[in-house]
């Protein structure tokens, strides 16, 4: 049996992780609403300007990157809301104990994927490397052949690396949400509902 002090410490740590995940989820909800509003505005602007015979070419690219950000932010939120896709053909035919193990394995796989993606982003974006070159993008590209910090978008002319920040952000939030889900699934803390969302898990959608 776990010592009461250790149990309380684990409970406090679990609550801290869940609180952090909840705060991130609320920020993601706000960002999703903003991105959806921006996307609708861009689409309407594109329709109006094309109909008027004076299209604004950067609107298409802005809409594409808005969808990209919306996809990653929404995907992270869906993970915490447990609304991500799942194939239950096997787990539905297992007993409760084995089904629980499969659920924990699936949650751990999501966490491992987030950690792997975060490691890849670290290697790709190489913050220590660009810092070692005094944040001189051209010098860094010449030495490393990593042209991330010298590339710019075609019509918006924005730095590509700024738009690509959604990848490490997604990796971090996915790891946090996956950890929160595992804490609840293991039983270290009671499962939480999330205000501001019509449904807080896939079961609510089915029911």
Confidence of residue 188 (pLDDT cuts 50, 70, 90): confident
* Cβ pair 130, 161 in contact under 8 A: no
* Residue listed under structure tokens 């410490």: 9
What's the pLDDT at 206? 44
Residue among 107, 106, 42, 50 nearest 69 (CA):
42
pTM score of the predicted model: 0.86
- Report domain extents, the chain: 4-187
Q: What is the dihedral of CA 43, 48, 54, 56, to 10 degrees?
A: -20
pLDDT digits (tens, 9 = 90+) for 24-60: 999 999 999 999 999 999 999 999 999 998 889 899 9
pLDDT digits (tens, 9 = 90+) for 135-147: 999 999 999 999 9
Q: In terms of pLDDT, which residue wins out, 168 or 15?
A: 168
What's the pLDDT at 170? 97
- Mean pLDDT score across all residues of the chain: 88
């Amino acid at each position: 049996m776990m010592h009461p002090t250790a149990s309380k410490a684990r409970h406090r740590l679990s609550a801290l992780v869940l609180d952090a995940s909840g705060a991130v989820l609320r920020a993601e909800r706000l960002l999703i609403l903003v991105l959806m509003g921006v996307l609708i505005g861009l689409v309407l602007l594109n329709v109006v300007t094309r109909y008027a015979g004076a299209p604004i070419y950067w609107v298409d690219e802005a809409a594409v990157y808005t969808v990209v950000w919306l996809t990653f932010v929404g995907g992270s939120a869906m993970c915490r809301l447990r609304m991500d896709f799942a194939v239950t053909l096997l787990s539905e035919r297992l007993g409760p104990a084995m089904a629980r193990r499969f659920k924990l394995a699936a949650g751990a796989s999501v966490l491992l994927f987030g950690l792997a993606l975060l490691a890849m982003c670290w290697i790709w974006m190489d913050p220590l490397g660009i810092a070692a070159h005094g944040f001189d993008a051209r010098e860094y590209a010449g030495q490393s052949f990593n042209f991330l910090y010298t590339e710019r978008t075609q019509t918006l002319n924005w730095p590509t690396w700024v738009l690509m920040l959604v990848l490490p952000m997604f990796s971090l939030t996915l790891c946090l949400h996956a950890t929160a889900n595992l804490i609840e699934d293991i039983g270290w803390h009671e499962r939480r509902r999330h205000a501001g969302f019509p449904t807080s898990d896939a079961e609510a959608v089915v029911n």
